[in-house]
Amino acid sequence: MKKWVKEGLTWGVIMFIIMVIFFPWYDGEEITLKRMLVGALIWGAGGFFYGFLMNKLKRDS
């Protein structure tokens, strides 16, 4: 697996845990399966984009 993919997935997993699990739990909101699936999709795609963008910016500098 390429380094930028690992970096992006790591960022996405951390953001998923914070935004989908921790904050709703802290606020006393219900954590639903729908919220988890939508969050996984959004933060997974966001993680890949983040990793790709960081890889691209590192190469250009």
pLDDT of residue 59: 83
Report how far apart the first and last C-alpha atoms of the chain are (Å, whole number): 23
Please say whether the beta carbons of 47 and 13 come within 8 A.
yes
To the question of pTM greater than 0.85 for the whole model, the response is: yes
Tally of CB atoms within 10 A around 16:
20
**What does each of the 61 residues of the chain score in pLDDT, given as a tens digit?**
899 999 999 999 999 999 999 999 999 999 999 999 999 999 999 999 999 999 999 887 6
pLDDT of residue 49: 96
pLDDT of residue 1: 87
Side chain identity at residue 13, one-letter code: V
pLDDT of residue 60: 78
Q: Residue 16's closest CA among 54, 50, 46? A: 46
Alpha-carbon distance of 34 to 13, in angstroms, equals 17
